[in-house]
Chains A and B, each alone.
Chain A
Amino acid sequence: MLLRHTPAEPAIERQALTINPAKTCQPIGAMYAALGLHGCMPHSHGSQGCCSYHRSALTRHYKEPIIAGSSSFTEGSSVFGGQANLLEAITNLFSIYDAEVVAVHTTCLSETIGDDITQIVAKAQDEGRIPKGKYVIKASTPSYVGSHVTGYSNMVKGMIEVFAKSTGKKLDQVNIIPGFVEPSDMAEIKRMANEMGVKTVLFPDTSSVLNSPQSGKYSMYPKGGATVAEVASSGDSSMTLALGPLGAGPGARLLDTQCKVPCQVLDLPLGLRATDIFIDALRKAAGAVVPESIMDERGQVLDFITDMQQYFHGKSAALAGDPDQLVPLAQFLTDIGMQVKYAVTGTPGKKFESKMQAICGPAAKVKEGGQGDLYQLHQWIKQDKVDMIFGGTYCKYIGRDEDIPVIRFGFPIYDRVGHQYFPILGYRGALRLLEKVLTAIQDRQDRDAPEEKFELVM
């Protein structure tokens, strides 16, 4: 379909442009993170379009209603500043929508005209627009810096800034800050910690918010989400584990500076090795023992891999997505005998290329930032094919053009359901990933096998 528009050569210089992006902008990440706080109303300080686009994108991805307010900038606010709009919005969001927390994030518009959100929020406080016991948190999320992952991380910092307090009394609990992952993954991290008997504070937590049950009622604030009290107590925790250097690292470091809670920044526990490292870190942080049940889960993953390694061996993959996910994914695929040939991320950051090449070998083609787009990925695949693609829904164009299976992975996923409910993190998540990879390989083998070689037992 898009075939005729993507030739294998020549490469188009990308200094000034991006074609078919493998990222989006900061504010949607901030909105997503804010939804992981119980009773929180995200608020977009900018034009109405931004807010509408983010809500629509998250709705398509989660099949859930997404709430968020907008400052509804007009030409006037763009000239005179958006203070009046934000003040009015704060009043309305508390009085009518009864939010516990309003999480304001900026946009390229409000950033560029120079609205000082700190000052506006202070003014709202002075004017009594913020009811007692309610809060406004904020994040600076200009769309022209970083990506959606940066926005997520900035809103996590916004939560810590306002809520995390050190009372001087240490609590026997470990903070876990997940990167930009699915509600199902957040729930899985909590389940594993629970299985180990470790008391944790996990935030943001979108489980039971963006995969909430059908109840016949519409609730603006579903029952999930980390509570303000929980996030406040994170300042007294013994330690913070940040899962994902880009999505979670900055928040964990802020908590260290602000409340002297030491932190350890890990990869997302995706695949066998990364999960081992997470479980080990959690064990050490809490002085816990790894229970047999967790070891059994690990053993099942290992069993799956060894039983089926002949199918995985030598198969190649192309990856598109966020650095926090792609690094451990590449490690996992390499560990099971596959070869990652190409990887792109739109999220800027020089470390990505060196990290990926250290895992996948120097021959792997890797690009980050505006040049790491899906058009580039498609061109590479045209030059030399792969057996499967990992990425969001937009990879399906490449999959169809080149007749390659696409394993839905990351954000956004507009055309499949499952990511809300089934994790890809932890050992259980590793099983799910393995099943997806194996099914892609075996479905293809069944489809393409000549009749005499069509196998029953695989």
Chain B
Amino acid sequence: MAARADILQGRQKSVAVAGDQPLALDCAKPSLAGSVSQRACVFCGSRVVLYPVADALHLVHGPIGCAAYTWDIRGALSSGPQLHRLSFSTDLREQDVVYGGEKKLALALDRLIPQFQPKAAFVYSTCLVGLIGDDLKRLCRQASEKHGIPVVPVESEGFRGTKKDGYKAACEALYSLIGTAEPAPLAPGIPRINILGEFNIAGEAWILQSYYRRMGVEVGAIFTGDGRIDAIQRAQGAQLNVVQCSGSMTHLAQKMKERWGIPYIRVSYFGIEDCAEALYEVARRFEAVPGILERARAVVAQEVAAVLPALEPFRKDLQGRKAALYVGGAFKAFSLIKALRMLGMRTVLAGTQTGGPEDYERLRSICDPGTIIVDDSNPKELSGFLRQTGAELFIGGVKERPLAHKLGIGFCDHNHERKEALAGFEGMVNFAREVHASVMSPVWALRQSEL
């Protein structure tokens, strides 16, 4: 394959081409030192998962940067409190490195909790705290006793692994809250679920909630979009956990299954097929409830009837065009490939930051032969692949956007900075509109000049 020259030594095995042979892709490994990786750290993973809990105090125990760079950068909407959108840091300084940051942390909690009256506090550990050895657990326990709210340590020292380990640390923090309050009794004939791995970016959780309401299913807690501590504390009262963005939250679902016997299913709400399948799967799990399957079918039928004609004009223009994607988790990649196919587009490059061996095998099986599959890539590789494949659309996150634009191809943000809801049936229309607007924009033609 061409473009091999652009790949770091030691990274050749992290790139493959989909075909009939099973892939043996190197993945789920730490990045090579010196690679301009698009990955982040443990702290980052914890922060993105917990951040949408809107009535909690999120205190970053560390130097200022960790708090500054994660200050409200994710459009996780709240229908009520906005406390999660403030930035709190212990702003550790040199003397704290020498003498420890424990006093500062205790004092910070003493000042902040009475002032902001949060329902709970999350205290994030950072690299520095891991090194100076502050006893976060003890301090949080003491603060909790003193102020009468849960104060939860999040063990998210940046160096202790990848972003995925951060998801796990966040899951542990959430798990410690679940079961600390009594759930309301179930209403007869109305099953209750929790939604896991949904962060309400651009209001997506609200869309899903409306589907479930119409199906006659109660949504207990959402982890963590538009999240509230109270709902999290009662989340053990649900009968089923529905896990989206499986990379981040399967760990929590697994733990809830072990402790409370709550079964879980993994779904995706991106694209018509996957979203319909998600609703059907939930309905099947409660098939003893009279009429639930019919109601699910009615929701899907109604939505699809509205969406399909809306997609048609976009599909006409996008038919046969090539798309590339580089996203955080593999589950999102599967859905995106299917959604792009529905728009008539072909995926020529599919990469993820955190995929595992099974993910890549599945990716291979759903990609067209010839699709480049890559783990933990970097701008140089990505730009090489984009040029080589002639992609006309790139789907990625904040660091990928300017890359696409410099190359003069369309872009769609499917990460924190998405402005439109992309989940659910109406999300598919938004997705199509956004992709269409970018790919078909007249600006790409401006590059041709007589000069």
Contacts and interface: CB of A to CB of B under 8 A. Distances in A.
A208 to B, nearest CB: 14
B398 A59 contact: yes
A370 to B, nearest CB: 4
A65 interface: yes
Given A49-B44, A85-B33, A112-B128, A145 B86 contact: no
A113 B131 contact: yes
Given A216-B407, A218-B406, A19 B88 contact: yes
Given A70-B31, A215-B406, A75 B160 contact: yes
B37 A70 contact: yes
Interface string A1-35: 11011000010110111111101111110000000
A109 B131 contact: yes
B69 interface: yes
Interface in B92-150: 92-94, 96-97, 103-105, 107-108, 111-112, 115-116, 126-128, 130-132
A429 to B, nearest CB: 25
A53 interface: yes
How many interface residues does chain B have, given as a range? 35 or more
A66 B36 CA distance: 10
B73 to A, nearest CB: 8
Interface string A109-121: 1001100000000
B390 interface: no
A90 interface: yes
A74 B31 CA distance: 10
B86 A20 contact: yes
Contact of A24 (B68, B104, B401): B68
A191 B107 CA distance: 51
A1 B383 CA distance: 40
A21 B38 contact: no
Interface in B48-97: 59, 62-73, 81-83, 85-94, 96-97
Interface residues of A, number: 86
Contacts of B89: 17-19, 21
B398 A60 contact: yes
B34 A88 contact: yes
A286 interface: no
A52 B40 contact: yes
A94 B190 CA distance: 62
Contacts of A257: none
B418 interface: no
B116 A5 contact: yes
A97 B71 contact: no
A282 interface: no
A78 B42 CA distance: 14
B120 to A, nearest CB: 16
A46 interface: yes
Interface string B403-418: 1011110000000000
B393 to A, nearest CB: 16
B402 interface: yes
Contacts of B379: 65, 67, 218, 220
B260 interface: no
Contacts of B96: 144
B35 interface: yes
A144 B94 contact: yes
Contacts of B9: 92, 95-96
13 contacts: A5-B83, A18-B67, A21-B71, A23-B68, A25-B65, A46-B159, A47-B159, A56-B398, A72-B37, A86-B33, A88-B34, A142-B94, A217-B406
Interface of B: 6-9, 30-44, 59, 62-73, 81-83, 85-94, 96-97, 103-105, 107-108, 111-112, 115-116, 126-128, 130-132, 158-162, 379-380, 383, 398-399, 401-403, 405-408, 447
Given A2-B85, A47-B158, A109-B158, 10 more contacts: A12-B111, A17-B91, A19-B89, A25-B68, A27-B65, A60-B398, A72-B35, A96-B380, A109-B131, A112-B132
Nearest first, the 8 A-B pairs at minimum CB distance are A49-B41, A25-B65, A89-B34, A92-B34, A143-B63, A47-B158, A53-B69, A16-B107
